[in-house]
Chains A and B, each alone.
Chain A
Amino acid sequence: MFGNLFKKRRYIFEDESTMVFDMDQTAGRYYDEAMKKLEIEAYEGDEMIVNMGPQHPSTHGVLRLELVLDGELVKKVTPYLGYLHRNFEKHAENTSYNEVIPFCDRLDYLASMNQDLAYALAVERLIGLNELPEKVEYARVLCCELNRIASHLVAVGTFGLDVGAFTPFLWAFRDREKILDLLEWLSGARMLYNYIWVGGLARDLPGGWLAKVREFLDYFEPKMVEFNKVLTSNHIFIERTAHVGILDPDVAVSYGCTGPVLRGSGVKFDLRKDEPYSYYDKFEFDVPVGDGQFGPLGSVLDRFVVRIQEITESVKIIRQALDGIEPFTDQDVKQAIPRRIRPAADAEMYVRSETPRGELGFLIRSDGSDVPSRVKARSPCFSNINVVDDLSRGGLLADLVIIIGSLDIVLGCIDR
């Protein structure tokens, strides 16, 4: 099927006689251009260039990878981005500080609460708004951790799909839907919440919501045990993933990988612990890191297991936050919302926080008006996907699929 991409194919036989096949001119021109782009002039003749994506179920969105294959071996991977580029940063420069929040929702649409919190935190630090009502802080932690569970459920579920396990995917989405119901009750939207505002929340917690969250946790914890029995501790699954996609800790730091990708390589770095924001310093939780129990450290399996363990940690945090919010349920969640946001001229700050995919940072610069002069979003997936070439070189094409799955990318976050 891809044979006609080759302009000329030279076959050398045992008696040193050669045979050259000329292919169609148009296809040949394409091949030459592709080779030029890849800076590979002299190929042995057996390599094949295959486009994976932008419409491909395993790239988790509109990501295009240009692969150089030698049979089933991957020789080079070149990602092409931009199919979902909306220039969030240009939009942000033309709307007031509050109006940017709905755009932030659409960056990483699987974890919108975390995106909102990251942006709200950045603006609050910029205008010096450090004291918020306790109810707001606890509610923010609640929303973000619920959303983190939902996001990780998508990650581990679709990863199961990538290695060929269909049932865990359905289970993960069944439980995720319950979280989305809770958050929809809260904000009115299933995925793009626009709920966390600068200085407060968009609306109060509905009556009975906290009890429902407790109910959900009681339902959810046994389900996770079931999930682990079927997928995480499955012998076939471990054998398939424990020796694939080894990411060295130094390489991970140099590439700017963060979140579960970094922690899967054994680097214990979590912004919730290392640079606590909101009320994260009030909770007791562990930072799971990869241990390389079944193979080399930093494998695909390690990144997967870190996500599974983080779900458990998030449940812990939510339980503590539910206890913590009890005395403050009468507070007004809108009382600290500033009427007008006008940071000082030339104020500039880079604020980062931990989303399910890693470090999301906003660099905001103010020119003294109520419109930001520059908003730069440093997205975690953008740095995480850069490492895919290093991870998959020399491996099999089938391994590339699960490597992408283990990086857990969201294209809205990469392309912005």
Chain B
Amino acid sequence: MNPEEIHQKLQAKFADEIIAVNTDALDPYIQVAPARFLEIATFLCEDPALSFKSLMSLSGMDYGAETELGVVYSLHSLAKKHKITIRINVDRTDAHIPSAETVWRTADWHEREAYDLFGIHFDGHRDLRRILCPEDWEGWPLRKDYIVQEYYHGMRVPYQEDWQKYETFSRNPERGHHVFEFESKVPGLLNGSQENGDDSAGKSEDRTDG
């Protein structure tokens, strides 16, 4: 089945739930509404013509600090050898999606991971706890507007002295990636490292000569 046929099949049963579809994208996707997702997931898995028994990946998404969160389900069928991507977008302040944990066992821990890192709540999940971060960690680390907590059990988390100007995780738009300002944060570090660098360079030259 090609993505278009999969879309037709889904359209026939869940016409109201499908929000967008793009079969020309690198990974063809169908975007659905979250409300009846459990039924859709069960249909995708159980229908003999679709037979999406394998959930390759479940990934939380943050499309930007001002916009929505999302979840991307990459599905694959071992029997039929076809693939499709299902996307769901949810509101940032009230992120709730029905859990597909009972449909694919893979979803169990992947949903816990998406909850842990993005703060997306999967309704009906039987054991929705943080999985990678500690249980009492604050905030959702992979959100674009995440600010790292100052203290965790009395330990300072950002290791710069002036943590409010913490720039490690903020982008420099001109260069397109972050600039780690060692010199301003740790005085004397750059000079020290240069001297060491010269020393080691000299030593390695000696070694090659010898």
Contacts and interface: CB of A to CB of B under 8 A. Distances in A.
A90 B170 CA distance: 11
A256 B78 CA distance: 11
A335 interface: no
B131 to A, nearest CB: 6
Contacts of A347: 26
A90 to B, nearest CB: 6
B62 A374 contact: yes
B74 A255 contact: no
B110 to A, nearest CB: 8
Interface size class of B (residues with CB under 8 A): 35 or more
A415 B53 CA distance: 25
Interface string B38-61: 000000000000000111110111
Of A348, A352, A369, most B-chain CB atoms within 10 Å: A348
Contact of B56 (A99, A359, A370): A359
B55 A415 contact: no
A267 interface: yes
A363 B74 contact: yes
B9 interface: no
Contacts of A267: 78
Given A81-B132, A94-B177, A361-B74, A254 B56 contact: no
Interface residues of A, number: 41
A179 B209 CA distance: 29
A349 B108 CA distance: 23
A230 to B, nearest CB: 36
A378 interface: yes
Interface in A370-407: 370-371, 374, 376, 378, 382-383, 386
B59 to A, nearest CB: 4
B10 interface: no
B105 to A, nearest CB: 4
A284 B105 CA distance: 34
Contact of A90 (B27, B105, B134, B169): B169
B171 A256 contact: no
Contact of B26 (A125, A378, A383): A125
Interface string A123-153: 0011000000000000000000000000000
A383 B106 contact: yes
Contacts of B109: 382-383, 386
A349 B27 contact: yes
Contact of B106 (A93, A255, A365): A255
A148 to B, nearest CB: 21
B27 A82 contact: no
A90 B142 contact: yes
Contact of B55 (A81, A256, A352): A256
A350 interface: yes
A177 to B, nearest CB: 23
A416 B132 contact: yes
A255 B108 CA distance: 9
A251 B59 CA distance: 22
A19 interface: no
Contact of A350 (B27, B117, B176): B27
Contacts of B25: 348
Contacts of A386: 105-106, 108-109
B133 A82 contact: yes
Nearest to A352: B56
A233 B38 CA distance: 48
A126 B57 contact: no
Contacts of A254: 53, 104-106
A350 B56 contact: yes
A348 B26 contact: yes
A82 to B, nearest CB: 5
B85 interface: yes
B203 interface: no
A96 interface: yes
Interface string B127-149: 00011111000000110000000
Of A267, A374, A382, most B-chain CB atoms within 10 Å: A374
B173 to A, nearest CB: 8
B33 interface: no
Contacts of A109: none
Interface string A31-50: 00000000000000000000
A89 to B, nearest CB: 6
Given A348-B25, A350-B85, A363-B59, A253 B72 contact: no
A94 B132 contact: no
B204 to A, nearest CB: 13
B57 A82 contact: no
Interface string A246-290: 000001011110000000000101000010000000000000000
B177 A363 contact: no
B11 interface: no
A383 B59 CA distance: 14
Contacts of A93: 142
A378 B57 contact: yes
B185 interface: no
A85 B176 contact: no
Of B25, B105, B168, most A-chain CB atoms within 10 Å: B105
17 contacts: A82-B130, A82-B133, A87-B141, A99-B177, A125-B26, A254-B104, A256-B56, A256-B104, A348-B72, A350-B57, A361-B74, A363-B57, A363-B72, A370-B176, A370-B177, A376-B60, A386-B105
Chain A to chain B: the 7 pairs with minimum beta-carbon distance, closest first: A256-B106, A376-B59, A378-B57, A349-B26, A254-B105, A85-B132, A82-B132
Given A94-B171, A256-B56, A416-B132, 8 more contacts: A82-B133, A85-B133, A87-B132, A96-B176, A254-B53, A256-B55, A374-B61, A374-B62
